Amino acid sequence: MATECTLLTNRDNDRLCLTFLGSWTIHTPLCSTPDIRPLCSPDVKTLCFNTDNLKQWDSRLLIELSRIIDLAISQSIAVDDQGLPPGVRNLLKLTRQTRDQQSTAKKTPRFALLTDIGNQTLRFFKQSHEMLAFTGEILLAYSRLFLGRARFLKKDLFYFLYDCGPQSLPIVTLISFLVGVILAFVGAVQLKMFGADIYIADLVGLGMTREMGAMMAAIILAGRTGAAFAAQLGTMQVNEEIDALRTMGINPMDFLVIPRMTSLVLMMPLLALWADFIGILGGFFIGCLTLDISATLYYEQTVKAITLNHFSVGLIKAVVFGYLVAFCGCLKGMQCGRSASSVGNATTSAVVTAIVFIVIADASFTFLFNIIGV
C-alpha cells in the first residue's frame, strides 16, 4: 500500500512533541512507531502533539494515542492535546469518560481443566434432576388431561399425528425394507452352510418384530420428529412465546408437550408394525430371489415362526421408545437457552439423548424378556 504512517519524536527542553505523519487508518497495517517509553524521562514535563501533516485518521490513531496518554499519565507527564484534531480530542474524552464509569464491571472467568470437570459433574446431576422433574410434570399434565382440565388445540394434535405418522411412512418404509434385506443377506450366508436356508424366514421375522422394527422406527423418528420438537420448542423459548403462554395462564406442558407426546406415543407402535411388515417383505424378496425358497414356503415358515408374543414385545418397546423420543425432544426444547446456538445444542442433544436412551431401554427389555421367557 502506498500510504504510510510514521511517528516522529522531538524533544524541546521539558516538552516532548510527537508528530504524526501519513495516514493512520486500520487499513495501514504497519506503522513505524518508535518506543517512546525511554523518552519519557522524569525531566519531561509536558507531552504535545503535532498533526498538521496527518493525512487521514481513524480508530487506529485513537488506540495509539490512548496508549501514549496512558503512559504519560503513569509517568505524571501533563498532556497537551491542543495539537490534535478536534474530532480526535472528543473521541478520546468519550472513551476516557466511559472507561472510568465501567471499571467495576466483572469479567467471566476463563475455564480450566479441573473447573471444567467439576462443572460437567455438577451439570450431570442437575440434568438428572431436571429429567426427573420433567417426568413429574408430564405425569401432572396427563392427569390434568384425564380430568379434562388440560388446554391445548385439537388442531395441533391432529397436525402432529399426521406429521409423526403418515409423513414418516416413506422414510420408515425405505429403511426397514433395507434392514430386512440386510438381515436376510447376513443370515443367508451362515444358514446356507448347513442347508438350513428356510430358517432365514424365522431370522428375519423374529429379528424384525422383536428388535429391528421398533428400534429402526424409533431412531428414524428421533432424528426426524424428536429433533423437530426440540427446535420448535427451543425457538419458541428464544422468542419468549413460551413465556407468553405461561402469562396467559396456559400451561406450556399441556399446550405444547401433550399433543406432541401423545401423537408420538400413539404413532410409534403403528410405525413399528409397518416397519415389521416391510422388513419381512424385504427378507421375503431376498429369500425367494437369491435362496430359491418358494414363496408359499417362506410365507408359511414366517407365519409359524412369529407368534403374537413376538409382536407384543416389539409393540411394547415401540410405545416406550415413542415416549423416550418425545420426552427428550420436549425436554431439551423447553430447557433451551435464549440464543441461536442454544437451539442447535438443544436439537443435537435431543437426538443424541433419545438414541442413547432407546438403546439402553432396548437392552434392558431384551434382558427382562429373556428372564421372564417371553
Partner 1 sequence: MTSALPLIDVQDLTMAYGDFILQQELTFSIAKGSIFAIMGESGCGKSTLLKYMIGLKRPTVGAIHYSGTNFWKSSSQDQIHLLQKTGILYQSGALWSSMTIAENVALPLQQFTDLSTKIISELVDLKLALVGLEGFADYFPAEISGGMRKRAGLARAMALDPDILFFDEPSAGLDPISSKSLDDLILELRDSLGATIIMVTHELPSIFALADDSVFLDPETRTMLTTGNPKTLAKESDISKVRQFLSRNTQSPKGLPQ
> What residues make contact with partner 1 under the rule CB under 8 A?
25-27, 29, 58-60, 62-63, 66-67, 86-88, 90-91, 94-95, 98-99, 101-108, 337-342
Distance CA 341, CA 361 (A): 30
- Which of 6, 342 has the CB closer to partner 1? 342
* Through-space distance between the first and last CA atoms of the chain, rounded to whole angstroms: 81
Closest approach, Cβ 30 to partner 1, in A, equals: 8
Closest approach, Cβ 137 to partner 1, in A, equals: 24
Half-sphere CA count of 58, side-chain side, radius 13 A: 5
Taking the CA atoms of 8, 10, 16 and 20 in sequence, report the sign of the dihedral they define.
Answer: negative
Q: What are phi and psi of 49, to 5 degrees?
A: -125, 150
Closest approach, Cβ 101 to partner 1, in A, equals: 7
Closest approach, Cβ 7 to partner 1, in A, equals: 14
- Which of 111, 367 has the CB closer to partner 1? 111
Closest approach, Cβ 280 to partner 1, in A, equals: 47
Distance, CA of 58 to chain centre: 40
Q: What are phi and psi of 190, to 5 degrees?
A: -75, -45
Q: Which helix (H) or strand (E) holds 175?
A: helix 169-193
- Which of 13, 101 has the CB closer to partner 1? 101
Q: What are phi and psi of 79, to 5 degrees?
A: -105, 125
- Which of 340, 368 has the CB closer to partner 1? 340
Closest approach, Cβ 342 to partner 1, in A, equals: 8
- Which of 59, 75 has the CB closer to partner 1? 59
Taking the CA atoms of 150, 152, 153 and 159 in sequence, report the sign of the dihedral they define.
Answer: negative
Q: Which helix (H) or strand (E) holds 216?
A: helix 213-221
Q: Which helix (H) or strand (E) holds 309?
A: helix 308-334
- Which of 135, 339 has the CB closer to partner 1? 339
Residue 25 gets which letter from DSSP?
A: S
